[in-house]
A = this chain, B = another copy of it.
Amino acid sequence: MVEAPAYPKLAGLRCAVLGAGGFLGGALAAALCDRGAVVRGYGRLANPDARDERIAWSNAEFSDASSLASVLDGQQAVFHCIGSSLPATSNGDPAGALLDDVYGTLKLLDLCVASGVTKVVFASSGGTVYGVPPRVPTPESAPTNPISAYGINKLVVEKYLALYRRLHGLDYRVLRIANPYGPGQSPLRPQGVVASMVRAALTGAAVEIWGTGEVTRDFLYVDDVVDALLRSAEYDGPERIFNVGSGVGRTVNDLLAAVQDAFGGAPFAVVRKPARIADVPVSVLDATLARRALGWEPKTGLREGILQTAAWMRGALTDFQVPLS
């Protein structure tokens, strides 16, 4: 049994969450506030009405160095959850994705060093940094040969984090996160097949599936991802790169069946699209290290997670500025 987390170091922690207006960053920022951290949020806020009042918010672009510098001033830790590009679209403009995601992050790291930030927690991507994995579940030591600019850029940031630690003593943790889903994930963005399917179940909209649906993924509920992020911020041992996944592979077709089942079994419309070249055929993470070093363990099963997502989305339907159906 893994004990309930205590997070003693988070109370009073002065930290910035970059990407706090997004799915993971938003959930993380709220969880940090729950634990007594003093949180500054940074990035684009999609829905200003949904803003968490406990968070001091800076609505600015990642490339805005002076805004970023003022937010970092006095912080102890930085959670970097900004990703400007997406796996499927990054390949259309790798040079642009490099500027947004890597160059921007190097400028961030320079500012962290100048500001005296002591630790960076980086949301990397377990589904893309390995590329087509030689085996699953995939451990952290597997070769890293991404097949998208998105995945390459996540990997490059990991390499630079190690360099900045060596050069400047800026400590870091990298979480290679599997496919997160859950409350807060917009069903209207191109990432998030669970959100897309739950929306379909609620509204009657069709689900888009790329390829045969036999692509296999490791779906992880957002609260479990957030727990890993919090634990990695607490952790001060020697490990720095952690897979964060359930270890269970499910095809998109499996997922479709699970969502249908959670909604009572009625099938919904599917639009089949061509397979995407940036999609690896299979991604399942071996999170043994996170279990051992962080005491982390995923707690929310897929069916429960789908139901939680549905409960949230019902409530959120009217809050979205873009119509959901």
- Choose the segment among A161-169, A171-179, A260-268 that binds chain B (4+ C-beta atoms closer than 8 Å): A161-169
State whether the Cβ of A33 lies closer than 8 Å to any Cβ in chain B: no
A149→B156 CA distance, assembly (Å): 10
Q: In the complex, are the beta carbons of B277 and A167 less than 8 A apart?
A: yes
* Nearest CB on B from A289, distance (A): 16
Q: Which of B94, B110, B159 contacts A160 (CB 8 A)?
A: B94
Majority DSSP secondary structure for residues of A touching B: helix
A233→B177 CA distance, assembly (Å): 39
A94→B113 CA distance, assembly (Å): 13
State whether the Cβ of A95 lies closer than 8 Å to any Cβ in chain B: yes
Q: In the complex, are the beta carbons of B94 and A98 less than 8 A apart?
A: no
* Nearest CB on B from A63, distance (A): 12
Q: Which residue on chain B has the smallest CB distance to residue A105?
A: B95
Q: In the complex, are the beta carbons of A107 and B95 less than 8 A apart?
A: yes
A152→B161 CA distance, assembly (Å): 11
Q: In the complex, are the beta carbons of A159 and B166 less than 8 A apart?
A: no
Q: Which residue on chain B has the smallest CB distance to residue A97?
A: B106
- Choose the segment among A2-10, A140-148, A199-207, A294-302 that binds chain B (4+ C-beta atoms closer than 8 Å): A140-148
Which of chain B's residues have a CB closer than 8 A to the CB of A159? 145-146, 152, 155-156
* Nearest CB on B from A152, distance (A): 5
Which of chain B's residues have a CB closer than 8 A to the CB of A95? 103, 106-107, 110
A162→B143 CA distance, assembly (Å): 14
State whether the Cβ of A311 lies closer than 8 Å to any Cβ in chain B: no
Q: In the complex, are the beta carbons of B163 and A91 less than 8 A apart?
A: yes
Q: Which residue on chain B has the smallest CB distance to residue A141?
A: B143
State whether the Cβ of A99 lies closer than 8 Å to any Cβ in chain B: yes
* Nearest CB on B from A166, distance (A): 6
Contact mask for chain A residues 281-320; partner B; CB cutoff 8 A; 1 contact, 0 none: 0000000000000000000000000000000000000000
Q: In the complex, are the beta carbons of B152 and A160 less than 8 A apart?
A: yes
**Sample of 20 A–B contacts (CB below 8 Å):** A91-B167, A94-B106, A95-B103, A95-B110, A98-B102, A98-B106, A141-B143, A145-B159, A145-B162, A146-B159, A146-B163, A147-B163, A149-B160, A149-B163, A152-B163, A155-B159, A156-B156, A156-B159, A166-B277, A167-B277
Q: Report, nearest first, the 4 A-B pairs whose CB atoms are least far apart.
A: A95-B106, A152-B159, A156-B156, A94-B106
Q: A94-B109, A103-B103 are known; give 4 further A-B pairs, CB within 8 A.
A: A98-B98, A147-B166, A152-B159, A155-B159
Residues of A within 8 A of B (CB): 91, 94-95, 98-99, 102-103, 106-107, 109-110, 141, 143, 145-149, 152, 155-156, 159-160, 162-163, 166-167, 277
